[in-house]
Amino acid sequence: MTVPNFMQAVPAPQADNEATSPEKGASSLLLAEVPVPQPGANEILIKVAAAGVNRPDILQRDGLYPAPKGHSLILGLEVAGEVVAIGEGVSTHKPGDLVTALVNGGGYAEYCLADAGSALPVPEGLTLTEAAGLPETFFTVWHNVFQRGQLKSGEWFMVHGGTSGIGTTAIQLAKAFGAKVIATAGSDEKCAACLELGADVAVNYKTSDFVEAAKTATDGAGVNVILDMVGGAYIEMNFSAAALDGRIVQIAFLGGAKREVNFMRLMLKRLTLTGSTLRARDDATKAGIASEVQAKIWPLIADGTIKPIISKTFPLKEVVEAHKHMESGAHIGKIILETG
């Protein structure tokens, strides 16, 4: 298939073996023309209408989170658009289908490859822009909160960063499946947004102690499942906030990955501390997560129980501004790039 070259957001050129320095920041991004990729076995080629911006994109931009070997170096972990070509062995999708997909890279582009198993039909009633904000957060929350954390109806759930893309998704999913939710956020405005999304308790971590808030809300019992992307000082605080047999799931370390921690509470409370990264998992694992997400969550999106929360959209050419907006921390929900 002959397709013109297209524009993509890629890191600025750099010397061999030189990682992009954090000092370059968002301004290190630029648009460049490269050949349109062609789908291999079990892959589909998507004409991208919109792509989600995620925190790992910023880490990759700064040389701290490289793409898996053999995958595109272009930023972008989730897209939505139209299938325009399929590779050998693909039977689940055909040209003309509208899909949203979790990808290992290449999303900030007009065309992007995706493993067929990690692409799902756009939920009924959603625009492509809205659908672009689904895969990274919904796959991550489902896998970590429900598969690894084993959250059950009636349990208490806490999520740090309640107004992030992960946080807004976690609040809605936990409530939809019958849990009681505590969310932490950095301002009263953001706490109000968490409550509007369904959180039972919202804690401004800048003015209140979330451990005490968790104990108060649960009558001293503690929280059954905690989803944490902060790390640092929160690691030991999570031990204090957790209930007996509580499960703590770590998905990032924005506050630092190294900390001196007293593990006595982990033993005395019989806690489970686990964590995961999604990007490095094999295609079969991601396809399994996708299958469960489609079966259990897509109907809730179609009937309006759950919705993607979009903070702001930017055209692809304004990718620098999109990254700056994420780094400002001002967003509530997802940031989306539109290629149109």
3-state per-residue secondary structure call for 88-102 = CCCCCCCCCCEEEEE
> Average pLDDT for residues 295-319, to the nearest whole number?
96
Does residue 61 register a pLDDT over 80? yes
Nearest to 271 by CA among 285, 259, 261, 258: 261
Structure confidence at residue 247 (pLDDT): 98
Cβ atoms of 146 and 174 within 8 Å: the answer is no
Q: Read off the pLDDT band of 5 (50, 70, 90).
A: low
Fill in the amino acid letter for 176.
A
Structure confidence at residue 69 (pLDDT): 87
pTM score, whole prediction: 0.92
Cβ atoms of 26 and 63 within 8 Å: the answer is no
DSSP 287: H
Does residue 3 register a pLDDT over 50? no
Does residue 323 register a pLDDT over 60? yes
State both tokens at 239: 């031990």
Structure confidence at residue 312 (pLDDT): 97
Q: Which residues of 108-143 are buried (b: 16+ CB within 10 A; e: fewer)?
A: bbbbbbbbbbbbbebbeebebbbbbbbbbbbbbbbb
pLDDT tens column, 244-254: 999 999 999 99
pLDDT tens column, 215-234: 999 999 999 999 999 999 99
Cβ atoms of 52 and 138 within 8 Å: the answer is no
Percentage helix, strand, coil, to 5, in the chain? 30, 25, 40
Structure confidence at residue 23 (pLDDT): 45
Domains of the chain: 6-134+279-338 (3.90.180.10), 138-275 (3.40.50.720)
Does residue 2 register a pLDDT over 60? no
Does residue 18 register a pLDDT over 60? no
Structure confidence at residue 340 (pLDDT): 78
Fill in the amino acid letter for 122.
V
> Average pLDDT for residues 306-330, to the nearest whole number?
96
Q: Is 20 exposed, middle or buried (0-12, 13-18, 19+ CB in 10 A)?
A: middle
Task: Return the percentage of the chain with pLDDT > 90, whole number.
Answer: 88
Structure confidence at residue 151 (pLDDT): 98
Does residue 9 register a pLDDT over 70? no
**Beta-carbon contacts of residue 216 (< 8 Å; ≥ 6 apart):** none
Q: CA distances (Å), 79 to each of 38, 117, 202, 226, 251, in order?
A: 17, 14, 31, 28, 21
pLDDT tens column, 106-149: 999 999 999 999 999 999 999 999 999 999 999 999 999 999 99
